[in-house]
Amino acid sequence: MDPLNGYEIILASGSPRRKSFLESLKLPFTVQTFSVEENFPDHLQGKAIAEFIVKQKKAPFEKIIQPHQIVITADTIVWCEGRYLGKPKYIQEAKEMLEQLSGKSHEVITAVGFLTTHKFELLSEVTKVYFKKLTEAEIDHYLEHQPPLDKAGAYGIQDWIGTIGITKIEGSYTNVVGLPLAQVKEKIEHLINK
Angle at which helices 181-193 and 16-24 cross, to 10°: 60
Dihedral in degrees, nearest 10, Cα atoms 17, 84, 143, 170: -60
Identify the H or E element spanning 106: strand 105-115
CB 38 within 8 A of CB 75: yes
Q: Using DSSP bridges, classify how beta strands 166-170 and 120-131 pair: parallel, antiparallel or unpaired.
A: antiparallel
Q: Give DSSP secondary structure letters for 18-51.
A: HHHHHHHTT--EEE----------TT--THHHHH
Active-site residue, 75 included: yes
What CA–CA distance (Å, rounded) separates 98 from 157? 12
Residue type, position 32, single letter? Q
Catalytic residue among 42, 75, 140, 150: 75
Residue 36, number of CB atoms within 10 A of its CB? 16
Q: Among all residues, which ones are annotated catalytic?
A: 75
